[in-house]
Amino acid sequence: MNKCIDGYYHHNSHKDKHAGTKHKTITFTWNIDENLIQELPEETLGQRVLKCRKNMKLNMKELAKLCNISPFTVKNIESGLTYPNISTVKKLSEVFDVSIKYLLQIDNWPEDTPSQIIKKFRLLKGLSQHELAKLCNLHQSTIKDYEDGRIKCCNGPTLEAVYKALDYTAK
């Protein structure tokens, strides 16, 4: 079986000239019923990425190439072993033509503390801590300290500058 056609697989054998061993690559393909894809769970980021990838009929390698990440990273995101950085989330949202809000399910995140507010609205805007810090003329560690809860003040010029950069209006 040399070609991958309608659910059949193929394998290629070649000899590694340096190691003197043979390697086999086996590729499987199958068609998944569209209704089954729609029934996939969406509880985690990884499940939402998997569902979007299946909807677009992409394999892990194809998605990885489109997002400039490794197939191993795609696998780890989908299985929940890795949480992607915001630049990867942005790329995924662009490839899938969905919002960052959908992928991260940010609507459900609380806004009770400056820490929660800054992280939520930074991610909604698709900004890294570094990018937000640059917008506010702050050091990245200041944003990190706010998000990690090490800075607890609820007012002041620094927090106002961060909120302004995030277009956040206190409730």
5-43 pLDDT tens trace: 344 444 444 454 555 566 666 655 555 556 565 666 568
Q: Which of 13-17, 57-61, 62-66, 147-151 has the lowest mean pLDDT?
A: 13-17
- pLDDT category at 69 given cuts 50, 70, 90 is very high
CATH superfamily of 40-99: lambda repressor-like DNA-binding domains (1.10.260.40)
Residues making up the chain, counted from first to last: 171
Q: Which CATH architecture has domain 109-165?
A: Orthogonal Bundle (1.10)
What angle, rounded to 10 degrees, do the helices at 86-96 and 114-124 form?
A: 40
State the amino acid at position 65 in one-letter form.
K
Domain ranges across the chain: 1-31, 40-99, 109-165
- Indicate the average pLDDT of the chain: 83
- 38 versus 119: which is more confidently predicted? 119
pLDDT band at 153 (very low <50, low <70, confident <90, very high): confident
- Name which of 27, 78, 35, 79 is nearest 55 in CA terms: 35
* β-pair partners for 12: 25
List the one residue out of 168, 123, 161 whose CA is nearest residue 142.
161
